[in-house]
Amino acid sequence: MEINAKEFIKIMSKNFGYKIVGTSIGQGIIVDPFNAFIYSTVTGAGYLDDPLYQFTPKGLMKLFYNALDYKFVTGIFDNTTLKNTPYIIAQSKKYLFEGNKIIIPVEFDSEMQLQKKLKKFLVDLKKPSTNYIIQRIEKSKKGNGMEPFMEYLACEVMRKDDYIVENQIPLSHSTGSPDFGGYKLKILPSYNKIHLIELSLIRLGWDIKVSSQNKNQYFIVGEAKTSTTQMKTQIEKYIKTKFFNECYEIHPSKSSPSDEKFGLITIDTNSDIHVIRNNSKEVLFEKDKQEEYASWLLNYLKYYLIANLTNDEFIEFYNERKKKQISGIKDVIDFVNGQTYDNILRKIKEICDGTIKR
């Protein structure tokens, strides 16, 4: 299946219930500001604030280079400083969380053609242009450059199945970064059915429902493609970590998995997303290695909760608890890893004056 502008609209409406709307610049779908932010973060689709460079938080919400390690990527943290959090970004780009957004799929053959279209859009629009998010449909590329969109679909489908989901997950340089990951963790408070980024949106008013604790931990991983059907080699690398219970190929038109131990996330001719489970009884994970990964993930989530604080508030939190100043990255890591979820949530609640609903 080719995911073009028309198919994009059908997939988003049919599978997730988003309302289709006609605008002066074409047909789109209406999305609330929080889910729009998540969509832009996952796919790289940009807010129409500039015809040459549309803002997207994609790449800014990252934390670590590798799993089982705590070496910061410049993203949410820059060295010891909280930098690119949703709350901090929203102070300069207030439009991000003000009002619903309309995602418009735009087909184009070249960057020059796209720029001409976007400049015309800015003339034609009656509403503020930042209410619009542009989903690029790159007709010059095989698969239309829609692999990030497939990552988004995998996240949304598996989020419904009680997973905490994430795209471009950190593993290692030699293994690569899987396009999709899903986590069921034995933690309290238990967060299910969320994208990991949602943990950093509490300060902005996003209400995350706390559900019953998972009885078992379960981890899944996936690789997305639209330009090729060859994913087996890369998925085999992910399997070798022994972290994951299941693995998935993610492709819009593949009809069956490449291997019986793989699952498949695909789209049928009616634009319905299908999840096909694997037919193998082979156990892909090793208990000790998965437990090590689970311990790291339990800390990993804390940093997204910490991202609800400004840097000054984080320093204050550290000083309150440690009675000293932050002297380096190790201090930050040791401090965050040593906090309980309840400690962090209490601090957020104290700052936000009761915006957390539990």
Written as six digits, the tokens of 6 are 């028309």
Enter the pTM of the model: 0.95
Q: Which residue's structure tokens are 């899944």?
A: 220
Give the separation between CA 252 and CA 266, rounded to whole angstroms.
5
Average pLDDT, the chain: 93
207 membership: H or E segment, kind and range = none
Q: How many CB atoms lie within 10 A of CB 51?
A: 17
Q: Give CA angle at 196 (183, 265), nearest 5°.
A: 55
Quick: pLDDT tens for 86-125: 999 999 999 999 999 999 999 999 999 999 999 999 888 8
Give residue 188's pLDDT.
67
Quick: pLDDT tens for 227-263: 999 999 999 999 999 999 999 999 999 999 999 999 9
Q: Which residues of the chain fall short of a pLDDT of 50?
A: 354-358
Give residue 358's pLDDT.
35
Half-sphere exposure of 344 (CA within 13 A, CB side): 24
DSSP string, 161-198: TT-EEEES---BTTTB--SEEEEE---SSEE-SEEGGG
Residue 129 DSSP class: G
Quick: pLDDT tens for 160-182: 998 999 999 999 999 999 999 99
The ranges assigned to domains in the chain are 5-55+93-143, 146-358
Q: How many CB atoms lie within 10 A of CB 142?
A: 10
Give the separation between CA 93 and CA 106, rounded to whole angstroms.
23
Q: How many CB atoms lie within 10 A of CB 55?
A: 18
